[in-house]
Structure 1
Amino acid sequence: MADRKGVLEGLQVDLIERIERYRAHKEQRGGPLDKDMEEQAIELQNDEVVDALEREAEEELRQVMHALARIDAGEGDVCEVCEEPIAPERLGAVPFTTLCRHCAELR
């Protein structure tokens, strides 16, 4: 469990740094769009991609923080739906999971 917590804490740091990079990128885009219509389309498309990546990283960060809270509460390797143990192989593959394979498939 301690190893998994360390993995999650490292992932948490990585995600926070990634989100900060996405936000810094968007702040640099504060100037006017390029006058060329094609360049404007590319800039807008790039911003949409960065926004999507930021949302994805924020969601993963929420999942990591939730998993860490469950570990701290002593519930980190138990499914939060059926309360059965989560397989160690699943925890190794998806360290921030809070669901067993069966309950995850039902969602």
Structure 2
Amino acid sequence: MTTSSTAGPRQSAKKAATKTASAGGSRKATATKTTAGTIAGRLRVKDDESPWSEEEIGEVREVLLEEIEQHRVELKLAEDELDDLLRASGDGSGDDQADAGAKTAEREHEISVAANARASLRQAEHALEQLDAGTYGICENCGNPIGKLRLQARPRATLCMTCQEKQDRH
């Protein structure tokens, strides 16, 4: 299977995961409302921001849960594709150099996709753990608030903009 042909099933699986995650969304939001209310009061924000509301915490939680499900599906698909490619590589004795190179590139691509999905999954799970612990939104580098706007745009963020920019430069 080529990389372009895996995009279809991978995209379909992502859509299915999103539908599955969002189908149970209202139940999850109701079930976590009490927890979110107690968490909202403990989360730190920047001086110029309003405190987190129950609704905002619920929305962030839902996004994180959906991301976790999507990354699990993506990781499973990438690992399955990689397994198929590795099994197929054993019978490539008649391949010319171009075919061997293309297969190597495809394997490397799937390894990269799996690694990215695994890292994103870990980040989303970590953010959810922080949310439950009441430490969500605190920069892991400097200890200052990350900021609601940043977290609403990127719920998995663990660094404030200043620390993220410093890290990106190095």
How high is the TM-score relative to the length of structure 1?
A: 0.89
Q: Are 1:20 and 2:76 matched, yes or no? A: yes
The match for 1:90 among 139, 144, 150 is: 150
If you compute each CA radius of gyration, which structure gives the higher value, 1 or 2?
2
Between Structure 1 and Structure 2, how many residues are aligned? Answer: 107
The match for 1:35 among 67, 87, 94 is: 94
Which whole-Å CA distance do the structure 1 matches of 2:93 and 2:58 have between them? 50
SS in structure 2 of the partner of residue 83 of structure 1: coil
Which whole-Å CA distance do the structure 2 matches of 1:10 and 1:34 have between them? 43
Is the contact between residue 15 and residue 58 of structure 1 (CA under 8 Å) also seen in structure 2? yes
Unaligned 5+ segments in structure 1 are none
The letter for the 1-side match of 2:94 is K
The letter for the 2-side match of 1:21 is L
- In percent, how many aligned pairs have the same letter? 26
Deviation, 1:34, is 6.2
Residues 72-93 of structure 1, C-alpha deviations (whole Å, 9 max, x = no match)? 1011122233332222111122
Which whole-Å CA distance do the structure 2 matches of 1:94 and 1:50 have between them? 25
In structure 2, the residue matched to 1:67 is 127
Which whole-Å CA distance do the structure 1 matches of 2:82 and 2:141 have between them? 38
SS in structure 2 of the partner of residue 78 of structure 1: coil
The letter for the 2-side match of 1:90 is R
Residues 31-71 of structure 1, C-alpha deviations (whole Å, 9 max, x = no match)? 32262312221111101111011111111111111111100
How high is the TM-score relative to the length of structure 2?
A: 0.59
The match for 2:114 among 34, 54, 71 is: 54
- State the superposition RMSD in angstroms: 1.4
Unaligned 5+ segments in structure 2 are 1-56
